[in-house]
Amino acid sequence: MRMYDIILKKRNGGELSEGEIQFVVNGVTADNFPNEQIAALLMAIYFKGMTKAETLALTLAMAHSGETADLSGIPGIKVDKHSTGGVGDKTTLIVTPIVAACGVPVAKMSGRGLGHTGGTVDKLASIPGFSTELSQEEFIRIVNETGLCVAGQSGNLAPADKKLYALRDITGTVENISLIASSIMSKKLAAGADRIVLDVKYGSGAFMGTSAEAVALAEAMVDIGEGAGKGTVALITDMNRPLGCAIGNSLEIAESVEILTPSSVPPSGKEDLYEICMVLSAHMLNQAGKGTLEECRTLAENAIASGMALQKLQAMVTAQGGDSSILSNSILTGSVENGKNGLPKFSRAKHQHLLISPSSGYIQSMDTQKWGIAAMMLGAGRERIEDEIDYSAGIILHKKPGTPVKEGESIAEFHTNQTSRLAEASAIALEGITITTVPPEKSSPLIYAQVDKYGTHYH
């Protein structure tokens, strides 16, 4: 078998066999092929596509190209949750303790952020002492003791995908549904869960720009999960606005605590975050056999109301070496004017700056990516993988799409320890907001569709 022949076969529109795909992945992992040949095959796949069988074979081969997590030492059905990334997306911090509080073990591996999207591992790293680098034994022990553990991904998880992605990134072959889906799902399968719930985002702050693209990706990933014997469901959710009001690591931890704190109503301005977390929690519990979606949503709501969900988050933080006392009394309230910024125990950024509205009217729309870039410029994210993150930096939104605003009123509050890029960040954020004199038309649904083994269901 030769790589040359496989390239020609795919270039001419042929379907690669499972053996041929395994040969390619083995060779990529072992560095047996020159980059030119791998790039040529990726370009052939980009133009000719892959069948469902090819995509599943590629995913399984990459999932087993390195370490795989063995979660058999954890009793019960293990359900994983994955988001394709967004701005202000702290759902993992809220959903996983809710699910654990309902008796479903959560053993989750998460990644770091890059560019305008944040990473769960970075958010948790803002908690003093918290460790995301755990051995397999520590990971299993913490799940068995607390019901919940969120750790960084192993460096040897799906190494073939890592090499293929690096080449896709520099050869213009990233935007192929089969390659995207297999990249994401290879890591999910290697992580060892029994069931998978996917949050596939679309819009200005997401990897997939349109709802149609997000549906296509979700369908491909659900096909892979089901083909691999893992019950899989995907929700298509809107990322044309930041999720919640906090963007930035410690700020998002504080907002997560606010959502998890027992209350009769969701915190004002954060109803979107609360709703998505309830729906994701319900689907995870449903996948674990805890009842119908309606029954599982009630379980999730009760986990917050009883205080059990917040206790689970505190227990996980303690078990992973973090200071769980930081999760109490760290609610985001008020603004600079009244001196109530919350975060009394987190390190607070030296500078707070109000972004002032240039006119009166209604917030028609937000370019979420620009707001994510603005937060990155303040120090809350990475432009390059080696960049250091300022955990105290970020943005607290005072206004969101659909709300009225007056000229001179605060749209948002910027937190930073460096002022050198504050003006640039402010300009980009203002470019990313549209103010009109008339109220906006009805916004797109927060949850656009659901994809499962039975098909695609539009909301």
Q: Which of the residues 163, 187, 230, 283 is marked catalytic?
A: 187
Q: Which of the residues 168, 188, 230, 312 is marked catalytic?
A: 168
Length of the chain: 459
Whether 183 is a known active-site residue: answer yes
Distance, CA of 413 to CA of 417 (rounded, Å): 13
Distance, CA of 456 to CA of 186 (rounded, Å): 22
Whether 161 is a known active-site residue: answer yes
The residues that bridge with 450 in the sheet, in sequence order, are: 235, 457
Query: Counting beta carbons within 10 angstroms of the beta carbon of residue 443, is it exposed (0 to 12), middle (13 to 18) or buried (19 or more)?
Result: middle
Q: Which of the residues 82, 163, 241, 312 is marked catalytic?
A: 82
Whether 82 is a known active-site residue: answer yes
Distance, CA of 255 to CA of 248 (rounded, Å): 10
Q: Which pair of structure tokens corresponds to residue 349?
A: 């950024």
Whether 360 is a known active-site residue: answer no
Secondary structure of the chain as H, E, C letters: CCHHHHHHHHHCCCCCCHHHHHHHHHHHHCCCCCHHHHHHHHHHHHHHCCCHHHHHHHHHHHHCCCECCCCCCCCCCCEEEEECCCCCCCHHHHHHHHHHHCCCCEEEEECCCECCECCHHHHHHCCCCCCCCCCHHHHHHHHHHHCEEEEECCCCECHHHHHHHHHHHHHCCCCCHHHHHHHHHHHHHHCCCCEEEEEEEECCCCCECCHHHHHHHHHHHHHHHHHCCCEEEEEEEECCCCCCCEECHHHHHHHHHHHHCCCCCCCCCCHHHHHHHHHHHHHHHHHCCCCCHHHHHHHHHHHHHCCHHHHHHHHHHHHCCCCHHHHCCCCCCCCCCCCCCCCCCCCCCCEEEEEECCCCEEEEEECHHHHHHHHHHHHHCCCCCCCCCCCCCEEEECCCCCCEECCCCEEEEEEECCCCCHHHHHHHHHHCEEEECCCCCCCCCCEEEEEECCEEEEC
CB atoms within 10 A of CB 337: 9
Q: Which of the residues 110, 154, 182, 183 is marked catalytic?
A: 183
Whether 398 is a known active-site residue: answer no
Distance, CA of 354 to CA of 271 (rounded, Å): 23
Among all residues, which ones are annotated catalytic? 82, 161, 168, 183, 187
